[in-house]
Amino acid sequence: MTGRMSIVPGTMSALLLAATLPCTAPAQAPRRAAVRPVASATARDAARLVGDSVTAVLTRALADNAFPGAVALVGTGSGVLATVGVGRLDATDVTRPDVTTIYDLASLTKIIATTSLILHLVDDGRVALDSAVVR
């Protein structure tokens, strides 16, 4: 998948995306992003923009058969800006995933923790991603 998602600076502190395994089943049309009411019109517009942007990214990935369905939640320190559910749970279950969907993430803790730690070491200048594993 190629493309960019533009976000208003400071509006997104977390994007959580859980996706089920790839399949070739036809995709369902995505739900419109659920946008939580926020204090000002500018903040509401930003939240809507974030929700629409995430919907567009997930819809494109769905069309590219990256996964049969996914849920994304975008928020800031003040709370949830938008939640988006697209596709279906799997090739045989046409139920659309949403924020209540429970995914079996198996052994992803090792991958997520190791990647995060390595990137912190890169930020600190202690590791270079293009270095040989053994020196």
What is the model's pLDDT at position 119? 92
What is the model's pLDDT at position 118? 92
User: What residues does each domain of the chain span?
Assistant: 14-103, 105-135
What is the model's pLDDT at position 33? 53
Q: Is the pTM of this model over 0.75?
A: no
- Rounded CA-CA distance 51/86 in Å is 12
What is the model's pLDDT at position 78? 83
What is the model's pLDDT at position 124? 94
What is the model's pLDDT at position 53? 92
What is the model's pLDDT at position 93? 85
- Tell me the average confidence (pLDDT) per consecutive run of 10 residues in the chain, 135 residues long: 36 34 42 54 81 93 91 87 90 86 81 91 91 78
Nearest to 74 by CA among 23, 11, 32, 118: 11
What is the model's pLDDT at position 134? 80
